Chain A
């Protein structure tokens, strides 16, 4: 197995607020790893340290076996010129989509290949169409984001990230801002990606989804990975009290085995 992402002893503080207190994590090629944890536990911060939207306060990050940044006097030094190629190889999907509202779906998806990868016009158009088709939006290529439903917007955002042909995809609560009836289409798109072997690091509160797609689940608590294991180990037979409390909170109201 090849490692796509390795994180060692990652710390992140915002002023006096010590959010991440030494995270170790490995994601192997083709794995889908899910991160769960209470609000404010640092899930987003951890994800954002992976593509360097936040600069880690301490620790090391390797992508595809290469250490990101330069070491100077034992600490890491991150230059924007080193981070840009990293970000172009790591896709990110945000809770609030963050599509570019002045561009059509197709232009949104073509923007990275065009501006960052500097591909030819024909290649950009090809990628735009390929990835919009992949997320099931062949019919909406020329629509502006404001004319799309939340679920469609999020799928365009996924296509936008995929068009960079990333080694790793990060999902930060990709369905939390959606109306309940639109959640399914986005989760399905994500599941299809996982089934195709995309390497993914996912923050989600959709535990059923986490159970069915993930190879490994991490429970983040007080800045540390409190418990980790297979979906069964974490979601069905958690060994730690904190993990159980967290899961109980998520499973207070449940349907009996319904037949839809």
Chain B
């Protein structure tokens, strides 16, 4: 089949794409920030010896890690408003789904990172008279976070890709805008090609940075 590539209609709808790009970035960055912050608390809760704190955190993590992000987004958009008194727009539903999913992921990274630090580090810190929070702040976290960075950066990359899931609830991110443009102009080939390119240009440098950082950390670990 012959296809004559014609990008003029895309150029004409570039404002729509730019809005989409803006929304994609907004959603991705917000979910990452929420996930990194809330994940620290959920991770700490899961680390707790108190069952009343530990158990809900564990349940939260398991639920969000073992269901698809797409289902979570749909659930927050279609199911949650019915069983709760809140009105929820597409952006809020997408943010809830992706940021809670990211929170669960980050919680596990924090926990794993902290557990990867040898028990001797805690003891050495304790033996010079540090309190638990001093041990954590001065000795454990600085080492653990260095080990967590690659996982967090990989998550950031994944998250940028996952934002496209929000198109199913008609949130105006890149993918949704593309769908609109291609239906209106009958140019799915050009539109989705351009969207793929935009994602690639956005994500590839991030992935390269992750690789660099991983290599650097592996070297300095020796």
Chain A positions within 8 Å of B, measured between CB atoms, are 51, 53, 80, 84-85, 87-92, 94, 96, 98-102, 111-112, 115-116, 146, 157, 160-161, 164
22 A/B residue pairs, CB under 8 Å, sorted by A = A51-B127, A84-B131, A87-B126, A87-B129, A88-B128, A89-B129, A91-B128, A94-B120, A94-B123, A96-B120, A98-B120, A98-B121, A100-B121, A100-B124, A100-B125, A100-B139, A102-B142, A102-B143, A112-B128, A112-B129, A116-B134, A161-B128
Min CB gap B27→A, angstroms: 35
Chain B positions within 8 Å of A, measured between CB atoms, are 118, 120-121, 123-132, 134, 138-139, 142-143, 146, 222
Question: Assuming A102-B143, A146-B222, is B130 touching A115 (CB within 8 A)?
Answer: yes
Q: Which residue of B lies closest to A164 (CB)?
A: B128
State the CA gap A115–B127 with chains docked (Å).
13
- Contacts A89-B129, A91-B127 aside, 18 further interface pairs with beta carbons under 8 A come to A53-B123, A85-B129, A87-B126, A87-B127, A96-B120, A98-B120, A98-B121, A98-B124, A100-B124, A100-B143, A111-B138, A112-B128, A115-B130, A115-B138, A116-B134, A160-B128, A161-B128, A164-B129
Residues of A within 8 A of B146 (CB): 102
Residues of A within 8 A of B134 (CB): 115-116
Most buried by A among B123, B124, B132, B222: B124
Which 6 residue pairs of A and B lie closest in terms of their CB atoms, listed nearest first?
Answer: A88-B129, A98-B124, A112-B128, A98-B120, A116-B129, A92-B127
State the CA gap A53–B130 with chains docked (Å).
12
Residues of A within 8 A of B131 (CB): 80, 84
Q: Which residue of B lies closest to A92 (CB)?
A: B127
State the CA gap A100–B124 with chains docked (Å).
8
Q: Which residue of B lies closest to A84 (CB)?
A: B129
Most buried by A among B123, B129, B222: B129
Residues of B within 8 A of A89 (CB): 129
Residues of B within 8 A of A90 (CB): 127
